[in-house]
Amino acid sequence: MDIRSAAIDLGLISPEIIILASAMVVLLLGTVLKSRGLMAFLSLLGLVVGLVLVLQQWSQPQSGYYGMVLKDNFSVFFSVVFIMTAIITLLMARDYLIAKHIDRHEFYTLLMFSTVGMMLMAGSTDLVVIFLGLEIMSVPLYVMAGMNKIDPKSNESGIKYFMIGAFASSFLVFGIALLYGASGTTDLRRIMADFSFLKMQSELLLYSGALLVMTGFAFKVAAVPFHMWVPDVYEGAPTPVTGFFSVGPKAAGFAALLRICVYGFSGMAELTAVFWLLAVLTMVVGNVLAIFQNNIKRMLAYSSIAHAGYILVALTAGGEGAVSSAVYYLLAYMFFNLGGFTIVTIIDSRTGSNSQIDEIKGLAGRHPYLASLLALFMFALAGFPPTAGFMGKFYIFSEAVRNGFVWLTVIAVMNSLVSVFYYLRVVVAAFFGKPDQEFSPVSFSPALFIALLVTAVGTLALGCFPGYWLELSQMSMFPII
């Protein structure tokens, strides 16, 4: 290999470079200047420029760096999801950070570093690059979870996440090592091309490697039985960070998992059974345990586990339609979950808040519009029409049925029914609950208003006009054999 002619194409990774560069600028400027608002603005600017650059890569698939970076529609779509998640998180975080006296410029830097890691994860077919992306994504997350230094719960959250994350990474790396041992390459395209030969030659290595890789990602997307860390980490982390956790890393994990399992391991039909079991366990445990939660962040943590289960249903079904339904669901999930977290963040910003569901009582009397939005997001999470949640679930379940997984769909629909209970509990508390004392009003800022507007419009648009968005998700595809 001639090193000098390395396929360097800076245009290919320009969005990543822009976001990284603005992260570093913010990191340095923040130590000199005192204005945190300026830092937030610069970060926002970097992310928006990154978003524009990513959008320009749409539907011109190209690859570079010896095939290690791949910008097909799939990775572009997910990059847009990640950057938008970061932008919405940034918008909702500002007031919370000020209220909790943890308004540090490192938050913005870490947010952007993490976003770049996710983009790398979604944009590669090489297992080593995917792993690198995963680490770039995870390490800032550990710090963000423990950002509220004087809060013991935040500390616990950071340490727990760090331990579990390191543990999960070791599974992943071990799996990659075994796959490399079996095939002599870390490139999924070559593993897939030689699959039947590799299977004949070293079946055991190949399958144990695949299972270990899946275990690593199951930790990251919080599939049962690898979910134990989720409630504690979500509860302890600062609320906007929790919102970011529940969407960004999960979408990144699923992006990598989709590409690896539906594309790279397309020859391993046996994995379907594993996914079936994972999906059922994840849905049932997530939904049932969510019922018993009194802390809204813990409830949303279990709900995010349950949603991972629905996406695992799509992974079980496999095939092009199922992948696009998962992609659609993740986009929809981003909108309504972040919307829900924005409202929880607003309520949590009040002093003395402990994120209990009881604290929401009386919200409708004081802030009727906010309560209506909360209801909208909760209905979307539960999967009611005409919200994005309904269409997302509908596409996933119809794909599952089309591929012959009727029982899986029945279980999924029943789980969906169970979930209605705990989502509506929040709505009932907001509208009909009698507060123990006067509901102390929440404060609004333009940033929060924009975050709510974007998420609400997204939730309704994906639900009311699904055709366009579904077409978009069908276009954001990697080649499937």
Partner 1 sequence: MEHFNTFFPIFFLFVFAAILAGVFLLLSVLFGRKTKTAAKGDPYESGMKPIGTTRERFPVRFYLVAILFIIFDIEVVFLYPWAVIYDKLGMFGFMEMLVFVVILLVGYFYVLGKGALKWD
Binding stretches for partner 1 (CB under 8 A): 3-4, 6, 8, 24, 27-28, 31-32
The nearest distance, CB 8 to partner 1, in angstroms, is: 7
4 vs 434, beta carbon nearer partner 1: 4
Alpha helices for 318-441 (secondary structure H): 319-348, 363-366, 368-382, 388-402, 406-432
- Closer Cβ to partner 1, 17 or 418, answer by number: 17
Task: Report yes or no: 82 and 248 within 8 Å, Cβ to Cβ.
Answer: yes
CA distance 416 to 287: 8
CA pseudo-torsion sign 401, 333, 343, 303: positive
CB of 24 to partner 1, least distance (A): 5
Q: How far is the CB of 65 from partner 1 (least distance, A)?
A: 12
Closest separation in Å from C-beta 56 to partner 1: 23
Q: Which is nearer to partner 1, 77 or 162 (CB)?
A: 162
Query: Are 59 and 475 within 8 A, CB to CB?
Result: yes
Q: Of 30 and 466, which CB lies nearer to partner 1 in the complex structure? A: 30
Choice between 16 and 399, CB closer to partner 1:
16
Q: Measured between alpha carbons, how far is 140 from 137 in angstroms, rounded to an integer?
A: 6
Residue positions counted in the chain: 481
In order of 231, 290, 359, the CA distances from 294 in angstroms are 12, 9, 10
Of 128, 67, 114, residue with least CA distance to 86:
114
Which of residues 104 and 189 has its CB atom nearest to partner 1 in the complex?
A: 104
CA pair distance 364, 383, nearest whole angstrom: 22
177 and 210 Cβ atoms separated by less than 8 Å? no
CB of 27 to partner 1, least distance (A): 5
